[in-house]
Amino acid sequence: MNRRLFHKIYGFACSNKYLEKTAVFVTRLSRLVYMFFFGLGFLLLLVNKDIINIPSYVIVPFTVLAVNTILRRLLNRPRPFVRENIESLVPHEANGSLPSNHAASAMIIAFSWLCVEPAVAVPLMILAFFTGISRVMTGLHYPMDIVCGWIIALIGGIIGFVL
């Protein structure tokens, strides 16, 4: 089912040039957008002298990314463009695919904004959703890679920010 869904999403993107270009744009830009928002959140915490939230704001995302990266290396699942013998729409190394670092990092950075300004967290989570979908549309991840990245981020966010 995961492969079938991948082919439907990837095929849909490839059949629509506007959608394909949008997916490539989101995939390429997402890292910079989330780095910007992470830095901005940290800066706002400093400016507001919110010393209580700064450690969790920094530690939780880095822990989530470390766990995600370790799992990814252990599982070493081939990327769709390798396994399915297709061309990815964005050049990428043929390294592990599961779980998605982009999906996990986008979601945990969005979740981190609950410490800074909760009203900003929801739009960032919506953007994290589109970031994940764009990774499937460009042939870089299977849908389950994305969902697993989101789940790892959400579990880390709940443990780190809520409990």
pLDDT at 25: 96
Residue 57 contacts residue 110 (beta carbons within 8 Å)? no
pLDDT digits (tens, 9 = 90+) for 65-104: 999 999 999 999 999 999 999 999 998 988 889 999 999 9
pLDDT score for 1 = 81
pLDDT-based confidence at residue 162 (cuts at 50, 70, 90): confident
Cα distance between residue 129 and residue 90, in whole Å = 18
Encode the chain in three state secondary structure.
CHHHHHHHHHHHHHHCHHHHHHHHHHHHHHHHHHHHHHHHHHHHHHHCCCCCCHHHHHHHHHHHHHHHHHHHHHHCCCCHHHHCCCCCCCCCCCCCCCCCHHHHHHHHHHHHHHHHCHHHHHHHHHHHHHHHHHHHHCCCCCHHHHHHHHHHHHHHHHHHHHC
Q: How confident is the model at residue 30 (pLDDT cuts 50, 70, 90)?
A: very high
CA distance 116 to 100: 25
Separation between Cα atoms, residue 145 and residue 44, nearest integer Å: 32
What range does the domain containing 87 cover? 2-162
CA 69, CA 60: separation in Å to the nearest integer?
Answer: 14
When divided into structural domains, the chain yields a total of: 1
